[in-house]
């Protein structure tokens, strides 16, 4: 029986309650996997792919290497949705989110480091307008995935409560 995989705490918390989590991270996993594959395709083609405000970089770093990590994140999500609330399965979902956070965190850090200096010919610090301009679209897939990956914090909190 499937429920035998759960500890008493997990059973008490109610497995059915997490159907939402399974569906949510299943969809997120598929989308993440798709982005990862597109990243690798863009790297193989050697050209960036742009759809509106989404840009998938076509170089090896960050494109190819990053794409591989996004792909792994998608696989972690998908591997973790079966028996979602069982701790070892849930940890895979958490790890999928951590990989997305690493990617998105690096992108955001790169923006910040680019946005502060004023450039070779400009002033020491970037004027306010240029500073904000650095954060304008297009964005990488990891940035789009970031808010959706944060939902895992709710589930971690929920586990702690139970």
Residues that bind another protein (CB under 8 A): 7, 9, 60-62, 65-66, 68-69, 72, 75-76, 87-88, 90-92, 94-95, 98-99, 102-103, 105-106, 109-110, 113-114, 116-117, 120, 124, 156, 159
Least spacing, CB of residue 109 vs another protein, in Å = 5
**Cβ burial 92-112 (10 Å sphere, 16+ → b, else e):** bbbbbbbbbbebbeebeeeee
Least spacing, CB of residue 103 vs another protein, in Å = 7
Instruction: Choose between 109 and 154: whose C-beta lies nearer to another protein.
Output: 109
Least spacing, CB of residue 54 vs another protein, in Å = 20
DSSP code at position 119: -
Instruction: Choose between 28 and 51: whose C-beta lies nearer to another protein.
Output: 28
Q: Burial level of 46, CB count in 10 A (0-12/13-18/19+)?
A: exposed
Q: Burial level of 80, CB count in 10 A (0-12/13-18/19+)?
A: buried
Least spacing, CB of residue 51 vs another protein, in Å = 23
Instruction: Choose between 54 and 98: whose C-beta lies nearer to another protein.
Output: 98
Instruction: Choose between 51 and 131: whose C-beta lies nearer to another protein.
Output: 131
Residue with tokens 């079966």: 82
**Side-chain-facing half-sphere of 114: CA atoms under 13 Å:** 12
């Amino acid at each position: 029986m499937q429920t035998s995989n759960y500890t008493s705490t997990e059973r008490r918390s109610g497995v059915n309650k997490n159907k939402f989590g399974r569906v949510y991270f299943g969809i997120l996993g598929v989308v993440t996997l798709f982005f990862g594959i597109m990243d690798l395709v863009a790297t193989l083609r050697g050209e960036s792919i742009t759809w509106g405000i989404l840009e998938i970089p076509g170089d090896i770093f960050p494109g190819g290497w990053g794409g591989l990590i996004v792909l792994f994140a998608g696989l972690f999500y998908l591997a973790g949705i079966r028996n979602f609330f069982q701790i070892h399965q849930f940890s895979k979902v958490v790890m999928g989110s951590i990989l997305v956070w690493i990617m998105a965190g690096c992108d955001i850090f790169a923006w910040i480091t680019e946005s502060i200096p004023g450039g070779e010919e400009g002033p020491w610090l970037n004027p306010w307008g240029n500073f904000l301009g650095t954060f304008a679209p297009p964005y990488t897939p990891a940035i789009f995935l970031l808010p959706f990956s944060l939902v895992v914090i709710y589930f971690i909190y929920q586990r702690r409560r139970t």
